[in-house]
Amino acid sequence: MKWLLAVGAGLVLLAIIAVLGETDTNPTAQVNSASVKADAPAKERASPKWHVTKDSDPITGKTSAYALSPRFKPVRKMEFPYGDTQMTIGFGCDSGSEWGYLTFTNTPNLVNDETKDGYSLSSSRVRWDDVSNRIELRQRWGDDALHFVNAASVIGQVMRNNTMLVELDWYGSGQVYFEAALAGSTAAISQARTICRPHIRRNQAR
C-alpha cells in the first residue's frame, strides 16, 4: 500500500513540474505574439512612396525624368475583365517640357469621349480634397495612359492637395472611381524637375 502511495505521489509531482514548465514558456510566446500583432497596424499604415526614375535616349542623349505614384485600386472592384485594374499618377519632364498622366494596368476603355485623328479626348470629374472640378484627358488609341490636356494646372493640383478622386466612364463598368493619396508627390516631382532643369538652363544659355 505504501509503495502504491509513493508511486502516486511521484506521478503527481511529475504532473506539477510539467505544468510549471508550460507556464514558464507560454508567457514568452504570448509576449512575442503580442509584439507581432502590435507591429502589424504600423506596417499597414505605412503608405507606399512615390519614386523617381530617369531615362536617356540612346540616339539623341536627351534625358527625361519621371515621378510616379504608387498604384491605387478603384473604390469599387471593376467588372470582368478589368477586375485587377490599378491606377498610377505620373509626371514627366525633359529639357524643354513637362507633362502629366494617369496610367493603368489595363488599357482604359472609356465611353462618351470624342474621337480625333489617332487619339480620343474626354472630360472627367475630379475632386481635390474638398473641391470638385473637371479635367480634360487625351488618350492615344490603344495606349494605357490618359494624359492631362492642361498638364501644368493638374500637376499643380497634385502638388498642393492631399487626395485626388477621379471619375472615369469606363465601358462595361459604368462610373469608376479611383482615389489617390498625394503625400510625397511634391518632393518626387521637385526631384524629377531638378534632373531636367540643368538641361533647360543650358538650352536657355545658347
User: Which stretches does DSSP call E strand in the chain?
Assistant: 51-56, 63-68, 87-93, 98-104, 114-115, 119-128, 131-140, 145-148, 163-170, 174-181
Task: Count the domains in the chain.
Answer: 2
Question: Locate cell 525633359: which residue?
Answer: 94
Grade residue 192 by pLDDT with cuts at 50, 70 and 90.
very high
Same structural domain, 114 and 200: yes
In this predicted structure, which of 47-56, 146-155, 171-180, 196-205 has the lowest mean pLDDT? 196-205
What per-residue confidence (pLDDT) applies to 184?
A: 94
User: What are the tens digits of pLDDT across the range 111-147?
Assistant: 989 999 999 999 999 999 999 999 999 999 999 999 9
145: CATH: 2.60.40
What per-residue confidence (pLDDT) applies to 205?
A: 38
Same structural domain, 6 and 99: no
Say if strands 98-104 and 174-181 run parallel, antiparallel, or are unpaired.
unpaired
Query: Cα dihedral sign for 151, 164, 73, 195?
Result: positive
Same structural domain, 145 and 192: yes
Cα–Cα distances (Å) from 133 to 127, 136, 164, in that order, read: 6, 10, 11
Same structural domain, 67 and 94: yes
Same structural domain, 39 and 79: no
Same structural domain, 5 and 102: no
Same structural domain, 78 and 179: yes
Same structural domain, 92 and 131: yes
Same structural domain, 38 and 56: no
What per-residue confidence (pLDDT) applies to 75?
A: 95
User: What are the tens digits of pLDDT across the range 82-98?
Assistant: 999 999 999 999 988 99
13, 28, 46: which is the final residue of a domain? 46
Grade residue 47 by pLDDT with cuts at 50, 70 and 90.
low
Domain that holds residue 83: 51-205
CA-to-CA distance for 34 and 44, rounded, in angstroms? 16
Same structural domain, 167 and 105: yes
Check pLDDT > 60 for residue 76.
Answer: yes
User: Which stretches does DSSP call E strand in 141-173?
Assistant: 145-148, 163-170
Same structural domain, 75 and 124: yes
Nearest CA among 82, 49, 51 for reference residue 178: 82
Instruction: Report angle CA 129, 139, 152 to the nearest 5 degrees.
Output: 45
Same structural domain, 123 and 198: yes
